[in-house]
Amino acid sequence: MLTVDSRNIWVTFQKEGVHLYPAAADDPALATGGDDDVSFLGYAHRHIFWFRVEISVVHNDRDIEFIQFKRWLESLYNDSTLTLNHRSCEMIAEELAEQIFAKYPGRTVKISVAEDNENGASMTFSHI
């Protein structure tokens, strides 16, 4: 007998953004002066932020339609280039989760945000 442990849909989209990691400019652990120096991250720099958003659904005929969900998520980022200031991928994911839960309460949501589709963070959220 087949048992479904979870039922989810997911969508992806990307958005250009500019952010910075202020501590990188002068934190000795980050601004090392060596091969592992990342002090440049302390200054505003551009990325293409890649999003993957997964949300729980309640049946196999999708109570949330892929394309509608994707378009709604993209509409939350209408600016041509996002100004993210000091926000990390994790912070961006948390803010997005709050907006999703305002529209879709009681779901489980997993959000991955990656810089240039190379490095990023994944977080799973539950809404009570």
CATH for 94: 3.30.479.10
pLDDT band at 23 (very low <50, low <70, confident <90, very high): very high
Whether 127 and 105 have beta carbons less than 8 Å apart is answered as yes
Total domains present in the chain = 1
| 34 assigned to some structural domain | yes
| 18 assigned to some structural domain | yes
| 40 assigned to some structural domain | yes
Give pTM, 2 decimals. 0.91
Domain extent for 111: 8-126
pLDDT value of residue 20: 95
Nearest to 16 by CA among 60, 59, 58, 48: 48
| 3 assigned to some structural domain | no
Q: Is pLDDT of 127 > 80? A: no
| 1 assigned to some structural domain | no
Tokens 């979870």 label which residue? 6
